[in-house]
């Protein structure tokens, strides 16, 4: 039996609003370009909100990938913990169904709240309808994916590039 922590990489966002879907696009790229150790799950959480509670409670370490409004230039990449979690679009109830901080609080109330960190990117455009990322976000997507892989390693997981190469 392994004593390695269960790690969930959860991409959230609404892919219908350009860069608001950066978290989902990042996990899609990660799933294509990386093979993760068996203690790491990579999941498209979209805008599921409270319906993610079971998956969140099953992990020891939660890595949320999302758009983050922190006031830096578009494409800036962040690592957020603690009170800074609310800078993530998924954590301030912008277009997601339920505030993810509330979801984590509910997980804590039932006795299983994982450590949580956000790896995010400052969006260029998160209000226009469109399924493609803005050019800035698309260009910076590989750096966001690299930051997620580094966080997976920091949390006790591992990954190796697949034959598909680095996310484009």
Q: Is 166 annotated as a binding residue?
A: no
**Res 54: pLDDT:** 86
Task: Give the domains, in start order, of the chain with CATH numbers.
Answer: 5-159 (3.40.50.1450)
Q: Is 132 annotated as a binding residue?
A: no
Q: What is the pairing mode between strands 7-12 and 40-46? A: parallel
Q: What is the pLDDT of residue 167?
A: 42
> Which residue has tokens 């800036």?
76
Spell out, as residue ranges, where the chain has pLDDT lower than 70. Answer: 1-2, 86-99, 101, 164-168
The pLDDT value given to residue 86: 66
pLDDT, tens only, 89-98: 554 544 444 5
Residue 60 among known ligand-binding residues: no
* Residue 2 pLDDT: 63
> What confidence score (pLDDT) does residue 109 get?
81
Structure tokens at 6: 């269960």
The predicted model scores a pTM of: 0.87
């Amino acid at each position: 039996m392994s004593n390695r922590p269960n790690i969930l990489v959860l991409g959230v966002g609404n892919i219908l609003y350009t860069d608001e879907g950066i978290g989902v696009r990042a996990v899609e790229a990660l799933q294509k370009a990386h093979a993760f150790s068996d203690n790491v799950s990579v999941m498209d959480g979209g805008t599921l909100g409270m319906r993610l509670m079971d998956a969140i409670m099953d992990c020891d370490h939660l890595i949320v990938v999302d758009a983050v409004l922190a006031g830096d230039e578009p494409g800036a990449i962040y690592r957020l913990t603690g009170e800074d979690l609310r800078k993530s679009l998924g954590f301030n109830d912008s277009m997601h169904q339920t505030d993810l901080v509330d979801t984590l609080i509910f997980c804590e109330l039932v006795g299983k709240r994982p450590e949580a960190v956000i790896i995010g990117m400052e969006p260029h455009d998160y209000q226009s309808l469109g399924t493609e990322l803005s050019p800035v976000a698309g260009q910076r997507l590989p750096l966001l994916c690299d930051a997620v892989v580094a966080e997976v390693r920091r949390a006790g997981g591992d990954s190796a590039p697949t034959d598909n190469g680095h996310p484009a």
